[in-house]
Chains A and B, each alone.
Chain A
Amino acid sequence: AQTVTQSQPEMSVQEAETVTLSCTYDTSENNYYLFWYKQPPSRQMILVIRQEAYKQQNATENRFSVNFQKAAKSFSLKISDSQLGDTAMYFCAFMKGGGATNKLIFGTGTLLAVQP
């Protein structure tokens, strides 16, 4: 069975600085997808970034980028130039490929606080 581990329950960063959130996963699959979702306080969860395992290039979305290390089974999220609006719970998630009805498996989340 696949598992996703987020070892940092809480983190704090100063506004405008860079922060990295860690995520590791365990799988024997070769084809899979990895996601970071963001849940702001009292607001709906949204997708931040997605990575296909077959792609070697790390995904980026504006200030958000990932460091995907397939051999190490690591998928960290880097947030550059942190903003107050980045304060949220961040969830790493895994989905195996090769099927149309596969499930997302979430980590336990990292609560990020951006300090002014």
Chain B
Amino acid sequence: DVKVTQSSRYLVKRTGEKVFLECVQDMDHENMFWYRQDPGLGLRLIYFSYDVKMKEKGDIPEGYSVSREKKERFSLILESASTNQTSMYLCASSLWPSYNEQFFGPGTRLTVL
């Protein structure tokens, strides 16, 4: 079974803090993704990576950065958290190429005060 884990289920941070969200997958998937899920907006892609040290911007990359130093780990970084980044963050992974099934983590509900 593919397993995608995220470092926290719930996280509360203050405005201006640097926030790290970690995602780890255990099935040697090439592709990894970070999404943001908001009510009425569905899932929106923030960044994705199809190889170690490779990254591509998604639809809403502003205010975020990512890091992929190892194949199994993909980190999302909020350089200076703001209240409008309060959301559910979902990580996913898939085999190459991108049209393969994506496997999702449980999500991190981030609240920025």
Contact = CB atoms under 8 A, between A and B. Distances in A.
Contacts of A4: 42
Interface residues of A, number: 22
Contacts of B97: 99-101
A61 B31 CA distance: 25
B102 A44 contact: no
A16 interface: no
Chain B, interface size: which category?
20 to 34
Contact of A91 (B4, B43, B48, B58): B43
A47 B58 contact: no
Contacts of A99: 97-98
Interface of B: 4, 31, 33, 40-45, 48, 50, 56, 58-59, 90, 92, 96-99, 101-102, 104-107
The 3 A-B residue pairs whose C-beta atoms are closest, nearest first, are A100-B97, A45-B104, A106-B42
